[in-house]
Amino acid sequence: MTTYTSHYINGQWVKATSAEQFLVHDSSTEAVMAAVPVGTAQEAERAVLAARAAFDNWAALPVETRAAYLDKVSAGLKARTDEIATAIAGEVGMPLKLAKLVQVGAPVWHWANFAKVAREFAWEEKVGNSLVVREPIGVVSCITPWNFPLNQITLKVAPALVAGCTVVLKPSEIAPVNAMILAEVIHEAGLPPGVFNLVNGSGPVVGEVLASHPEVDMVSFTGSTRAGKRVGELASQSVKRVALELGGKSASVVLPDADLEAAVKGTISACMLNSGQTCSAHTRMLVPAARLDEVKTLAKAAIAKLTLGPSLLETTRLGPLASAVQRDRVLGFIAQGIAEGAEVIAGGASKPAFDTGYFVQPTVLHVKPGDTLAREEIFGPVLVVLTYQDEDEAVRIANDTIYGLGGGVWGGDEAHAVAVARRIRTGQIDINGGPFNSHAPFGGYKQSGNGRENGVFGFEEFLEFKSLQFKPA
């Protein structure tokens, strides 16, 4: 067990003022694997003021200097890949091999890529008699989730820093170890004091300070829609910029001419990544009513190949959920779905055969559009299948949600699949299983949030426009 006793404020590790701790549990064994201090409102404010004091000098540095720091952080994270991946496999439950690739490999790439984006960015342009310049927005609060912890931290902190902003980070109390390692890497990279700060704490205490403090210019939050509404409410009092990446209930629309086997396999893969603990997971599969029986057969076969097991076991393809609370929540949803009349195609609410760990069987249910499981974000390894009679109904069902984050369309005619995708109100749609593109903007419509992450689009979120007007010659 690793015990942390300090927060990272103003360039140094500062011993926590409270002896209270968050205990971090290994999701496969349920054993306590680490402890981090529970931060106070005063510690959060201290971090904000440190970030404010550091802002002017950091923003004034050449872009190349800031980018070089990001390259150092990328290299530092890469050197500690095994350690970080093992920590996240324990915290979150993702199988170790996949955690190295996704949970660590992606952040390593993003830190370096944001440095590249900043170096190549057009910081100013002439528009008529004006010179339009881009400048850092200021002090940024970053409040991040537990499901892809280091990656979601990276998509906020890295672009904010290279844009010239200073940062206060509050990581998830469920998965904070990776953030503590990042702080160590940033310290070793030699960033000036106050540029990056980390305070562990709860949302109602530390999070509320970071969302409401008058010296914070922007809040970037990833988490539940309910918590995102609270962040927006608090931030609005001082008219901060707010970027929100929230919930999802993404639809995978399988058109009548699709390769059905590929569509079912691909949808299940897009649903079950990280045991379904993915905001953009394709958790609703919409299929032609006439092909439902074929879909059931294919879904059962695909689910049977998802070997459930502890995250550090080599043969595991699907790990546990991140916490007992999350496991119980997901099992409650499955039981509710069955009570409402859902047909169990695979899996179910029975407990898998493990003595320890927050395990849930990968589950596929046939439901109706108005059912709870067709509408609520479950955030676990649960796929619901809905049927439609024609294309217009498929689009209507896909759009009949408060969310709009991800999705997919499968069809034999790619041009037609694209035409259907254009009718779906969501931020990102995969055509016939197109892979995730880390250069493309990621974010949602409707109550899935606002703002975008990844690449130049995510970088621009942390910049302001300024127009300098000149007298025409």
**Residues forming the active site:** 245, 279
Inter-axis angle of helices 177-189 and 81-92, nearest 10? 160
Question: Of 233, 228, 183, 175, nearest to 203 (Cα)?
Answer: 228
Tell which residue, 413, 392, 371, 226, has the closest CA to residue 284. Answer: 371
DSSP state of 467: E
Edge-to-edge strand ranges of the sheet holding 32-37? 2-3, 32-37, 21-25
Strands (E), 161-255: 166-170, 196-198, 218-222, 241-245, 250-254
What is the sign, positive or negative, of the torsion defined by CA atoms of 345, 350, 356, 360?
positive
Residue 91 backbone dihedrals phi, psi, to 5 degrees: -65, -45
Helix, strand, coil abundance in the chain, percent, nearest 5: 45, 20, 35
Residue 335 vs residues 342, 356, 397, 427: alpha-carbon distances, Å: 9, 21, 23, 31
Residue corresponding to tokens 């990042």: 182
Rounded to 10 degrees, what is the CA torsion of 189, 194, 198, 201?
170
For residue 448, give the amino acid letter: S
Length of the chain: 473
Q: Which amino acid is at 369?
A: P
Nearest to 39 by CA among 11, 17, 23, 12: 17
Phi, psi (deg, nearest 5) at residue 86:
-65, -40
CA 185, 191, 193, 197 dihedral sign is negative
